[in-house]
Amino acid sequence: MKQEYTLTAYTEDQMGLLNKITVILSRRKISLESINIATCEIDKLYRCTLVIKETFEIARNIALQIEKIIEVYSCYCSTNEEIVWKQMGLFKVMTSTFINDESVNHLLRKYNAESVIIEKDFTVFEATGQEDDINDLAIELKKFGLIEFVKTARIAVTLNSEAFDAY
């Protein structure tokens, strides 16, 4: 049965690495749900976080294939239950549509959203949480004149206490 898997690869900063990973996925006709590449706890290494929807066998095999790329030190395959993960969303809303509406304050508290900037014409809110919560807040804010909406890719850490050590 297909489900969401998070692949976490520890890599060097090498040109063409992302292309090599996408070739592995495109050969199997697998599309990415999310991708994030950022520095990590190990100096001069990067953490590449990929989210795919596949069966366990295929996800595990993709992780093993990614690990064979020279620039990749290790690649882990995790279910949502094995990691702590979040996404962030930014929402630009017309200030005039909610300034005197108490239901917006309730909505923002419900999704733990905070204002980042308040201008005469628009206000920008930030919310961090699970993808469904971020998407639900965007749907709710459409009623109040949502102008723009963007969310980040998934960031994740494993629930086990072990850390990756390249050395």
- Does CATH number 3.30.70.260 belong to domain 3-83? yes
Q: At what angle do helices 56-67 and 17-27 cross, to 10 degrees?
A: 150
* Rounded alpha-carbon distances, angstroms, from residue 3 to 6, 55, 101, 142: 10, 6, 40, 29
Residue 155's pLDDT is: 94
- pTM value is 0.84
The answer to whether the beta carbons of residues 129 and 108 sit under 8 Å apart is no
- Domain locations in the chain as residue ranges: 3-83, 84-151
Residue 160's pLDDT is: 80
Taking alpha carbons only, the member of 134, 136, 147 closest to residue 98 is 147
Token readout for 96 is 């005039």
The reply to whether 84-151 shares the fold of 3-83 is yes
For 117-160, the pLDDT digits (tens) are 999 999 999 999 999 999 999 999 999 889 999 999 999 998 88
CA angle 75, 32, 11 (to 5 degrees): 30
For 52-83, the pLDDT digits (tens) are 999 999 999 999 999 999 889 999 999 999 99
**CATH tag for 84-151 (out of 3.30.70.1150, 3.30.300.130, 3.40.718.10, 3.30.450.40):** 3.30.70.1150
Token readout for 110 is 């419900």
